[in-house]
Chains A and B, each alone.
Chain A
C-alpha cells in the first residue's frame, strides 16, 4: 500500500469512528422495569428533542454509587436517580451540584416536596397488600388491624429498613397521619415506633430487602400480608396474582433527579432534567409503571386516564389518609432510626 493511500485509509477510519458531534449525557437509573419506563416516557423523547446522545447506567443502590464516584473524584454520570431522603442526605454531604433554577422550574412541585438539589418527579406509596385467597373480601383495613394477629392470622412480610415502617408503626398505634413526624421528633416517639415493630416481629416471616423480592413473596403466597410499594403490588395484581392492596394509610415518598458534584456535562444535565420532567412526560410514565407525577400540572388536562388515577399514590382521592415522607426528618434522624431498627432486629 502506498504511503498516500495508507493516510487516506487512516483518515476515513478516524472520521468513521467520530460521529457527528452531539452533546452526550450519562444518566444513572435503578434499571429494571422502572428504568425502562423512565427511558421510554422521559429521557429518550427529551434527548431526541434536545439532540443529545444519552447513555444509561443502572445501579440498584444509587446513593452508594454516587458517593463512590464523587469521593474518588471519578464522576462518570451526569444525572442520578435517587429517593428523596437520599437526595437530601447527598446534598447535606455536598455530593450534589445545586440545580439551576433558570433551567429547571423548581417551584413547579408542591412546597413540601421542593428541593434545591434533587428534583422530585414521581411518587410512590408504601402500602398494605394482601393475598385475596387468604382474606377473601375481608382483609385488614387499617394498620391497627394489620398488627392484630389474633383477628387476622397470617404471615407478614416487611421491608428490612426503618424507612416508612416507623411511620406505619405509629399509624398502627393510633397516631393521626398529620401528627406522625411531630410524635417521631419527641424522644419517646422513635422508641414507641420501634416497640410497635418489635410487637409484630414474631409474625414476620420475611424481612425483604428488594422491591422485586417483595413482589415475589406476594406472587408465591409465601406471605399473606406484605408491606410493599404500590407499583410492585399493582404489577403482581395486573399479572393475575391473587393480590390486592390499599392506599389507606400509605406513606408517600418521592424519587428525584440530581446532578453529582463535578459531573462532566453539568449544564446539559440540567437541561435534560428540565425536558424529561415536563408534565406530559411524567404523566406518560404512568403508562409503564404506577408511579404518579409530583408536579400537579401533570394531573390536569386529562393527561392521565381516570381509570389509572386509582393506581397512583398521589392521585387526589388516594392521598387523604396518607403520610408524606419527610426527607428533612430522615436527614436529621435517619441514622438513629436505622440503628434502633437494627438493634430491634438483633434482639
Chain B
C-alpha cells in the first residue's frame, strides 16, 4: 500500500485515537480525509488498532464465524427443494434451460445431460416453513435462526478460482482475503489471540478433496501481519507455540526477562520505536503461550455443552471441535473465524459422500448456534454458511435413482446467514424448477461480502486501499449492494 497512507493510518489510529484526540487534531484529520469527519458522532466503541472512523455505523455483529464448505455443496440435496424434478428423472435438461451456458470440460463431453432429482426427502420446518432435506436433521432445529439466500451466483466454474474469488474478490492470487480486510479495518479484538483465525478440519466424505491455499486467508498487498492464523489440529495449535523440549516456563521467563532488558538497553541507545514494539510483541507471544492452550483445552466445558456439538467434539481437528473452538474464540474477542470444511466436491457417488459430509457438520453447526444463543452471543455473532459454487441438476457419470454425481454449477447456489443483525426465518431469491437459473433476486458474491461488512459496522466504499491504480476493495470494482432484506 501507499506508505504515506500507511504511515498516516498507523500514526492516527495508534497514537491519536489511542491517546485521546484534541479538537485541532480531529479537524486536521478531517481535512486530510476530504471533508468527512472521521470520528463519528457518538461513535460506537472502536476495537484496538481499528482504522479511523471504523465502525462507520453501529455494527450489528462484533465478530464473524464463516463456515466454508469447500468443494461446492449440492443445493438440490440440501436446501433448494425441487419437487418437479422427481418426474423428470433421467430426462434431458431442456436446452431452453441450459441456454448453451458454459459447463466444465469434465462434462462438456457428455452426450446427454440427464437430470438427477435428489434422492433425499424434504420437509418444511419451523415457523418459516423452510424446506430442508433429511440430511440435516439438527439444522432444522435452528431453522428459524437462518436466513437463506437461494440465489447466489459466482463467476468462476473451477475450485481454485472460485474459492479465491469468494475469499478475495478476485479469481487470481495476489489480493487480500476477507478476514484480512476485516482485521485491517477492525483492528484487533483480543489482547492475547490473533484476530483472524482459520481452521481446516478433517472430513469424512470422499477421501480425495480439493486443495485449499494459504492465499485464501492471505493478505495480498495488505501488511502481512493481517493474515489469518491457521489453527492446527496436529502439533502446536499455533505454529511454534510450544517451547522446545527442555525449556520450561520458568526458563522461558528467564530468557525473556533478559531479552527485554537487553532490548531496553538497546532502545536507550538507538531510540528506534520499533525496538520498543518488539519488546511488546515478545510479551504478547509469552501470553499466547498460555492463552492458546487455554483456548484449546475443553476440560472446563460442561458435558451438556460438549453434547450439543455431538460425539466428534472430543476429537481434535474435527468440524465439531472446530465449532466449539470457534465459540471459545468468539468469547475471547477474536473477530474473524473461518472454518474450511473440505470434501464437498461430489462429481460421483454423491449420496454416499454427502451423507458423511452432512453428518460432519449438522450437529456441530446446530450446537454452535444454540451454544452462542444460550450465552446471549448469537445476537452479535454473524454466522455465514456456504461453498464456492453450487452443483448441476444434471448427472455427471452414471445415473440411478439412488446414485448420481453432480458437476460444478456457478449459476446458482444456496448460502445462509444467521446471528448478529440477521433476521432469521426467511429466504431470499428463487431459482427455476431445475435450480439451474435464478429467476428472482440474483445475489453476487460481492453482495454477500458487502453485507458481511455492513453487519460488522463497515461501509464497503470506505474500506479500500490503492492498488494497481484501483481503489481495491473486497467487493471488487463493480457495484455491490447490502442485502437489506436479510437484516433486522
A binds B: no
Task: Write the residues of chain A forming the contact surface with B, with a CB cutoff of 8 angstroms.
Answer: none
Q: Measuring CB to CB, which residues of chain B are less than 8 angstroms from any residue of chain A?
A: none
